Structure 1
Amino acid sequence: MTPITTSLDALLTEEREAVLSEWLASMRHGTARTISGHDAQEAATILDAVIRGVRAGGEPARFEADPWSALRSALSDVSATRAAQGASSGETSRFVLAMKKPIFERVPPRLGSDAASITAALWWISELLDHAAQHTVDAYQRTREEIIVRQQDELLELSTPVVKLWDGVLAVPMIGTLDSSRTQHVMESLLQRIVETGSELAIIDITGVPTVDTLVAQHLLKTVTAIRLMGADCIISGIRPQIAQTIVHLGIDLQGIVTKASLADALALALKQSGYVVTRPKA
């Protein structure tokens, strides 16, 4: 260990409780967010990881090195927790940077009148905590991206459910804009359900699709082709007048594909093709 890390190790170890207390106190006065017991536990874990890294000979400029592995792990956990709770990346990094003040205040009394050593120690701890704050921002961003991807997947599941309408008849109500990823998801889900249920008819309802262009039509045609390759037939419902005109103007060829104006019409046709007859009971 260098003279600086030796001094910092002694300072942080001997005054650990005081540093923690002042760190959390500064956060209580500097943010509208309530500081909980969990925050105190997170702060203690981070400070202990700092002490461990200092004691292991870690250098701020090499923050990705092994001595700081426990600190990086602790910071990543804090970022993930706060991202899931809806806290901002700025609040998360400020939580880490708030550790500076209680440490800075204790460096001069520890090192006496040696201005050069004081400056070096302050720069050392400042550089370390700056790296730590940046790590929390990066980890927060990764966590938020993972959350967004997971939410998108969940929304995709909700927006493209495969519904069993009748024995041998499945339906997929499409809502929103169709793109390659959604079409692929719909195709996979529908084909899997066809295999699981042994259905022979699938209805793709596009009532909730705002517009149909060449790309959307291509996606629909690919889905219909995949369904037929599985030995099932397909009906496209929800062909509104505007969509019918658009398809004609674009010159999109839907020959060979059965289309209906509404899901009810498509279901009636599906039942008829399946050999069912629907009648009203006589009064």
Structure 2
Amino acid sequence: MPIQEPAIEKEVIMIGKTIEERKFKIAKSLVQDPDPSNYEQVVNLNAELMQFFADAILKGIEVSTELVTKWGRETGELAVRYGAELDESLKNTATLRQAILKVLEEIAKEVSCSVQTIFRVTGILDSVLDQAVYAYSTAYVSSYKSTLNHAQEVFLELSVPVVPILEGVAVLPIIGDIDTHRASLLMETALRESTEKRLTHLFIDLSGVTIVDTMVANNIFNIIYSLELLGVKGILAGIRPEVAQTMVHLGIDFSSIQTHSTLKQALATHIL
């Protein structure tokens, strides 16, 4: 004879209360590394997850969903901060699931639960963990992208240095490829630094640029002309032979801009 629903519900509630009462004990048993540097933090996170699980059992999954989502997001952001790998974290989730199932099995034996009850509780566990993993993963990816974008912005800013060499004179060395975003940063930096440093001459050194196409050439033109509006003379130096050849093939005309093969030559002509 199948067990009646009220009896199953009573057993489910009993398991929920047991998990709630033992959440810290269970949380400690789930820590895989016996002596991590952030042991207390990991235990507290596990204890929160156990409380969400207990709430889902005792009050319904809908009650815990919002809190589980918030927990997953915060944990995902924390993982990025600590440098945890997403694939490793997801692998640990499977281990965590098995560990919690083992705890459930022990509790079920203690209170002599039916198979139906175990299935009911396991289904709730899966729902809670799946929601936590989803929130964790999306928050991790979002936070990782944000960190990566910030690092890229810092790198780009460092890659556009305006170096003063004499009163009113500075050099802007450009190294690597120039895309639309970097071209915008070059323009912004050149104009801002020229104004702040009260420059009269800005030498743009292209010796580190290996590829110049029409887009790059137009951006360089725009920088030079914008500098002229500020009363700053923009001078190009260090155009490599292969780059010069490419410019000729593309029909790019630099005749209106003063150019020099090396920075040394440019400085000797205009400053020294």
Same fold judged by TM-score > 0.5?
yes
Extract structure 1 runs of 4+ deviating beyond 6 A: none
- Equivalent residue for 1:269? 269
Aligned equivalents of 2:248, 2:242: Cα separation in 1: 10
- Equivalent residue for 2:223? 223
How many residue pairs match? The answer is 259
Q: 1:13 pairs with 9, 20, 43, which one?
A: 20
- Equivalent residue for 1:22? 29
Aligned amino acid, residue 23 of structure 2: R
Given that 2:23 and 2:50 are in contact with CA atoms closer than 8 Å, whether structure 1 keeps it comes out as: no
Q: 1:72 pairs with 69, 72, 79, which one?
A: 69
Give secondary structure in 2 for the equivalent of 1:256: coil
- Equivalent residue for 1:237? 237
Structure 1: unaligned runs, 5 residues or longer = 29-33, 272-277, 279-283
The 3 A distance-change label for structure 1 pair 170 and 6 is farther
- Equivalent residue for 1:85? 82
Query: How far 1:69 sits from its partner (Å)?
Result: 4.3
The 3 A distance-change label for structure 1 pair 180 and 194 is same
Aligned equivalents of 2:50, 2:161: Cα separation in 1: 49
More displaced, 182-191 or 197-206?
A: 197-206
The 3 A distance-change label for structure 1 pair 123 and 268 is same
- Equivalent residue for 1:163? 163
Query: How far 1:209 sits from its partner (Å)?
Result: 0.5
Aligned equivalents of 1:100, 1:4: Cα separation in 2: 21
- Equivalent residue for 2:4? none
- Equivalent residue for 2:96? 99
Query: How far 1:113 sits from its partner (Å)?
Result: 3.9
Query: How far 1:123 sits from its partner (Å)?
Result: 1.0
- Equivalent residue for 1:179? 179
The 3 A distance-change label for structure 1 pair 158 and 190 is same
Given that 1:13 and 1:51 are in contact with CA atoms closer than 8 Å, whether structure 2 keeps it comes out as: yes
Give secondary structure in 2 for the equivalent of 1:86: coil
More displaced, 48-57 or 111-120?
A: 48-57
Give secondary structure in 2 for the equivalent of 1:254: coil
Structure 2: unaligned runs, 5 residues or longer = 1-8
Query: How far 1:9 sits from its partner (Å)?
Result: 3.4
More displaced, 219-228 or 78-87?
A: 78-87
Give secondary structure in 2 for the equivalent of 1:105: helix
Give secondary structure in 1 for the equivalent of 2:218: helix
Aligned equivalents of 1:35, 1:130: Cα separation in 2: 27
- Equivalent residue for 2:209? 209
Aligned equivalents of 1:225, 1:58: Cα separation in 2: 67
The 3 A distance-change label for structure 1 pair 46 and 21 is closer
TM-score by length of 1: 0.81
Aligned amino acid, residue 77 of structure 2: A
The 3 A distance-change label for structure 1 pair 96 and 228 is same
The 3 A distance-change label for structure 1 pair 53 and 16 is closer
Aligned amino acid, residue 195 of structure 2: V
Given that 1:93 and 1:134 are in contact with CA atoms closer than 8 Å, whether structure 2 keeps it comes out as: no
Given that 2:27 and 2:46 are in contact with CA atoms closer than 8 Å, whether structure 1 keeps it comes out as: no
The 3 A distance-change label for structure 1 pair 226 and 122 is same
